[in-house]
Chains A and B, each alone.
Chain A
């Protein structure tokens, strides 16, 4: 026992802590993925004046569980004539790269007040000096998942879908990386925590965020280029021609069934979450609240509890109406937990101060995810040549112009 404790207090404890953090993050992200599919189906349905999933559990909340079980039990057919190694490698590669990009996203500035055997618990897995470049490397490698999946399926539609999709991803990667260079010029660093730190909103409020850029120059052109390129990068509507159902059967993942298809699915939604996190970190101030700090704005500190407490009470009230176990027992339980957290935030101000930063970041990530789903429910998809035209002839020149103008403004505003 003593040997274990001494191992944990020294170098080994750091690795154990990192492993625990990775496990926890994976669990949370996979659950969020599952409920993101539910959220998407509900919101798209409500936009189309229908109800969406509402049979499998109250408000369709157990639909992701049903989908997961379906994916596990479907027949795992491997078509004839495929290159087995590459066929099995492609979804694995897509999923691994997608999940790996979550390792560099910081969720809060301050470490937890408790320590793990003497090691500080930060709210990120790693915070390298080149955090943004790591994300771009992973995005650059993400093209392989799609290209190899299309090629290995030994069939026309997947091959075409795979080629088109990888050409699209490579083209939009350029404007994606160029549109971020404006933020890098302002922040002088690749580290994500430093970029957020420079958008500190204690004085000007939300105007200090990079998109309004009162400190240097507004990055609105950069944000628009980045967001549009990122939607194209993740193969979402309106840029999802390579996997559209009416065009190419299902594009590059036609020949994949059951769990391998689920891997592509999870990879897509996880990259959606990563892109939303990047947008909010780079352009919308990350974990900085839109209200300045000061005694007049102290009410904004109660916003988390103001949201959580009524929501928890509503969940309790709603769950009691149902007759099933999930509705009668689990939902009020969840509602009580949420309401209790909301109440605890009012009662303990120190925890409230700590929770402010992650709350705002998660709220912004949620906002961008809603925007993604909104775009899916609203916009038609682009034709392939229109897609490539936008990438090369519109977004790339605009992002290069953004770099030049931002560089000029930063130079003029810098003290000699």
Chain B
């Protein structure tokens, strides 16, 4: 039986790696993917708690998080495509002025 603490530590490690990726990378799509990684880390914590409590609320929450992440990815990628078309670059350091 795997103790719940192990899952929680893994979730914290993945969240930290996602946060580091968010800050370090400069391609806007990779930054978006690091947000998905952080959401996945939180999902893991939810399911771990659901197993340790013996209730299924955590897993239902995970379904909601997945749905919200899907909606966010759809709209966010649409915005990214438009921004990339206007600025002709995917580098976030070039998108630091409102002026084109």
In the complex, is A directly touching B at CB under 8 Å?
no
**Interface residue ranges, B against A (CB under 8 Å):** none
Could you tell me which A residues sit within 8 Å of B by CB distance? none
